[in-house]
């Protein structure tokens, strides 16, 4: 049975035993990311994520990798706007070893100067790669256009200037503030019971993180006004993205949003893909994606096309949106959307790693664990009227922003979609 355990220190443990599996996924989720950064230390969350793998008081970087590979386990991490996660995926017999190493990198990383200097260089190259990737850069510019002065507009990687400016003391100050027991969630999914999970987490984590009562900041929703950012780059494809108003991750209609997204631009049978790519051949790529946080979110529409096709592609997208706003979705689309959503949910529930990531995100966003039967019941409760209301909310063309990356994109994107 799934269980959430609160330790005296404020540390949270979530255990989700899974039947018919020999896998074990263990994750440490800390509720901090670029949302907690400033213009001065932007990129520090991601830099810390890299640095914890570079050595601890008792293990070198090679030792960490070698010990994990010696038991056939994988270890990895990621940083987002509002969380950072460190996790392992292994067979169930290696629960102790995985938690030992995870706790070591989380609690005892050394941040040696030579390693810090080297890893800054690696991250600057990662930033340069983003600059060369039209789609990634387009999304970064769209966040700036949509969220403007909010910390949500800051890039997760930071900039070359901010990353190079981060020093050891800044890292210690940041971790002291956010890498605390109150902000830490240990997630275990797979072939493990609550008793063993409690014992191992108590041994490796409890009492080793300070309790401050401090949580990650919660920002007010962005005040939406149209903004357009375009960056000229010498690349053949025009990368274009639009943002629309969206509900947050805790909203009661969040399941309806995911269902609706499948129909609008979430797959090969979606309206946008079929109309703009398959029927008209105007784009190489077109899709939609809701991106949600605790108190905010935005709905993104991305397309990649030739600069010559931009006006026609925007016109085709405008037509799809106009039809959605006028008529909503059909009963047939609604039934298909539910079937797709249910299937994706059931298949995802068979992976201990997927459940681990979902539980980490859910606890931070909404303080809930994934429950398959509840998820399916919530999907079943979605009505056609729910999708109608979301269409009216999302496609408010007075509140859209846009970004583009490419060369010779001489089109007023906001005007083209609104007009």
Last residue of a domain, one of 204, 220, 237: 204
pLDDT at 39: 94
Global confidence as pTM? 0.94
Whether 413 is in a domain gets the answer yes
Lowest mean pLDDT among 10-14, 220-224, 233-237, 298-302: 220-224
Lowest mean pLDDT among 2-11, 273-282, 410-419: 410-419
Task: Give 310-349 pLDDT, tens digit per residue.
Answer: 999 999 999 999 999 999 999 999 999 999 999 999 999 9
pLDDT of 169 above 80: yes
Residue 215 burial (CB count, 10 A): 14
**Average pLDDT, integer, range 17-33:** 95
The rounded distance, in Å, linking the Cα atoms of 49 and 273 is 36
| Shared-domain flag, residues 113 and 145 | yes
pLDDT of 218 above 90: no
**Average pLDDT, integer, range 103-129:** 97
| Shared-domain flag, residues 161 and 278 | no
Per cent of the chain over pLDDT 70 is: 99
Last residue of a domain, one of 204, 239, 266: 204
DSSP string spanning 47-93? HHHHHGGGBBSS-BHHHHHHHHHHTT-EEEEEE-SS-EEEEEEEEGG
Asked if 49 is an active-site residue, the reply is yes
Residue listed under structure tokens 């969220």: 147
CATH number of 330's domain:
3.30.830.10
Task: Please provide the average confidence, as pLDDT, over all residues in the chain.
Answer: 94
Whether 219 is in a domain gets the answer no
Q: With bands split at pLDDT 50, 70 and 90, how would you rate the model's confidence at 214?
A: low
Whether 143 is in a domain gets the answer yes
pLDDT at 211: 82
pLDDT at 222: 75
pLDDT of 226 above 70: yes
pLDDT at 254: 95
The rounded distance, in Å, linking the Cα atoms of 414 and 419 is 8
**Average pLDDT, integer, range 182-189:** 96
Q: SS3 of 12, please?
A: strand
| Shared-domain flag, residues 34 and 174 | yes
SS3 sequence of 200-259: HHHHHCCCCCCCCCCCCCCCCCCCCCCCEEEEECCCCCEEEEEEEECCCCCCCCHHHHHH
| Shared-domain flag, residues 200 and 237 | no
| Shared-domain flag, residues 158 and 246 | no
| Shared-domain flag, residues 167 and 256 | no
Q: Are strands 12-17 and 3-6 parallel, antiparallel or unpaired?
A: antiparallel
| Shared-domain flag, residues 320 and 287 | yes
Whether 210 is in a domain gets the answer no
Task: Give 340-374 pLDDT, tens digit per residue.
Answer: 999 999 999 999 999 999 999 999 988 889 999 99
Query: Which of 37, 49, 119, 333 is an active site residue?
Result: 49
Whether 216 is in a domain gets the answer no
| Shared-domain flag, residues 389 and 264 | yes
pLDDT of 215 above 90: no
| Shared-domain flag, residues 196 and 296 | no
**Average pLDDT, integer, range 209-214:** 79
The rounded distance, in Å, linking the Cα atoms of 66 and 51 is 17
The residue segments making up the domain with residue 141 are: 3-204
pLDDT at 149: 87
Helix-helix angle 352-366:331-348, to 10 degrees? 110
| Shared-domain flag, residues 292 and 186 | no
pLDDT at 410: 83
Q: Which residues are 244's β-sheet partners?
A: 299
pLDDT at 28: 98
| Shared-domain flag, residues 315 and 414 | yes
pLDDT at 217: 67
Please count the structural domains in the chain. 2
- For residues 296 and 221, is the Cβ–Cβ distance under 8 A? yes
pLDDT at 241: 97
DSSP string spanning 354-373? HHHHHHHHHHHHHS----HH
pLDDT at 141: 96
**Average pLDDT, integer, range 229-233:** 93
Higher-pLDDT residue of 111, 221:
111
Residue listed under structure tokens 């909010």: 150
Label residue 288 exposed, middle or buried (CB < 10 Å: 0-12, 13-18, 19+).
buried
**Average pLDDT, integer, range 387-406:** 95
Going by C-alpha positions, the residue among 231, 251, 78, 250 that lies closest to residue 144 is: 231
**Average pLDDT, integer, range 157-163:** 97
The rounded distance, in Å, linking the Cα atoms of 313 and 283 is 7
Whether 218 is in a domain gets the answer no
pLDDT at 367: 84
pLDDT of 220 above 70: yes
Give CA torsion, residues 197, 203, 209, 211, to 10 deg. 70
Task: Give 285-295 pLDDT, tens digit per residue.
Answer: 999 999 999 88
Tokens of 378: 């919530």
């Amino acid at each position: 049975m799934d269980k959430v355990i609160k330790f005296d220190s404020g540390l949270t443990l979530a255990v989700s035993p899974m039947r018919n599996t020999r896998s074990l996924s263990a994750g440490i989720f800390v509720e901090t990311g670029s949302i907690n950064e400033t213009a001065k230390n932007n990129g520090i969350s991601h830099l810390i994520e890299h640095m914890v793998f570079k050595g601890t008081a008792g293990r070198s970087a090679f030792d960490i990798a070698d010990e994990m590979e010696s038991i056939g386990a994988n270890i990895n991490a990621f940083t987002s706007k509002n969380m950072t996660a460190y996790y392992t995926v292994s067979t169930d017999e290696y629960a102790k070893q995985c938690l030992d190493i995870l706790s070591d990198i989380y609690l005892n990383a050394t941040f040696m100067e030579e390693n810090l200097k080297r890893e800054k260089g690696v991250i600057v190259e990662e930033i340069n790669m983003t600059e060369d990737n039209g789609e990634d850069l387009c999304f970064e510019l769209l966040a700036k256009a949509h969220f403007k002065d909010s910390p949500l507009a800051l890039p997760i990687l930071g900039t070359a200037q901010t990353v190079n400016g981060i020093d050891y003391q800044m890292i210690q100050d940041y971790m002291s503030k956010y890498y605390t027991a109150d902000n830490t969630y240990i997630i275990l999914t797979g072939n493990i019971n609550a008793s063993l999970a409690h014992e191992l987490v108590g041994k490796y984590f409890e009492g080793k993180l300070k309790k401050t009562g401090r949580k990650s900041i919660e920002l007010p929703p962005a005040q939406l006004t149209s903004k357009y950012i375009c960056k000229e780059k010498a690349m053949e494809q025009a990368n274009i993205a639009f943002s629309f108003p969206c509900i947050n991750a805790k909203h009661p209609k969040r399941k309806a949003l995911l269902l609706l997204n499948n129909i609008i631009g979430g797959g090969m049978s979606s309206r946008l893909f079929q109309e703009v790519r398959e029927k008209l051949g105007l784009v190489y790529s077109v899709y939609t994606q809701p991106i949600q946080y605790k108190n905010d979110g935005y709905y993104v529409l991305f397309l990649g096309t030739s600069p010559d096709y931009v006006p026609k592609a925007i016109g085709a997208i405008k037509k799809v949106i106009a039809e959605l706003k006028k008529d909503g979705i059909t009963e047939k689309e609604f039934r298909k959307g539910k079937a797709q959503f249910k299937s994706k949910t059931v298949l995802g529930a068979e992976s201990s790693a997927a459940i681990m990531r979902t539980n980490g995100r859910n606890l931070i966003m909404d303080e809930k664990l994934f429950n398959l039967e509840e998820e399916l019941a919530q999907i079943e409760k979605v009505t056609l009227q729910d999708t109608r209301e979301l269409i009216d909310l999302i496609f408010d063309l007075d509140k859209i922003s846009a970004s583009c990356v490419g060369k010779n994109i001489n089109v007023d994107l906001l005007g083209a979609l609104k007009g």
